[in-house]
A and B are shown apart, each in its own frame.
Chain A
Amino acid sequence: MENKKKISLIEGLLFINGDEGVSLEEVSIFLDISIDESEELIVLIQNKYKKDLECGLELQRFAKNKFRMITKKENSEYYIKLANLKTESRLSSASIEVLSIIAYKGPVTKADVENIRGVNCDNIFYKLKLRNLISEVGKSNDVGKPTLYNVTTEFLKYFNLNSLEELPKLKESNISDKEIFNRG
């Protein structure tokens, strides 16, 4: 198969899968080509979109090997004006706190998170599970075998991360580091 044909097939697949995105593995199975070749071709499309100023689309790379077709971010203000646009509420700062704790400390139990925040988190956990940003990954060995949670691929997509390694480093919890609370 010619490269042109492969590229056009991948582009179509990116469109079909939409929000869900396409992984390199899927492309490699779909076209019976190597992962490396899949990546080359998809990156080619990504660059093509980026360069083409007449094109309203771009590709977001997330979770290391997944790609998603989205509208160009710089155009967003125009789309937001559309009356019929479905809106998703942004996460509250409380939800973001819970998500950050899970992202850094996961797998963790709800009690672990509540202990750090000092607040009951039932409702937030429920909402984050509904939005598929966290998922149950097993049971802790503690009394009562509480459920352990971790962040999901959807989380990586939402925050445009390839992996949790891209998270900013947390300050060391060194109790002798007296400066950390004096910075403002």
Chain B
Amino acid sequence: MQNSLDPRIRRSDLDSASGFNQVGENENWETFAVFHQDKRGDAHVFVGIVHAPDPELALVFAKEQYGRRKKTVNMWVVRSTDIYTFRHEDEDMFATVPEKNYREASGYPVRKRINKYLHDLEEAHS
């Protein structure tokens, strides 16, 4: 690469790697899921994965990749193989009754009931 504009490339012996074109299987290690906490009091949130040979290095890479820009106070990493999950195709199992008013606070208009009671009381006394 004598004609390269980059002096570092002109100094490197790139030809020594000319026959190399095969990264081995698993040479990029396994994957870890990264959970990021941007401030104390907030939940850790899944932000993506890193490739690493072990949890310690996974944390180092996670800091580099997911803590580089955003404010960060803490991180978790978890081996992808240690995550258990439902399948998206089974999401209908989360379907429940369409009307869930009975389990919402807003489904209980107590004040309306009280007002009606007071109103009826007033009517009865007048």
A and B, one complex?
no
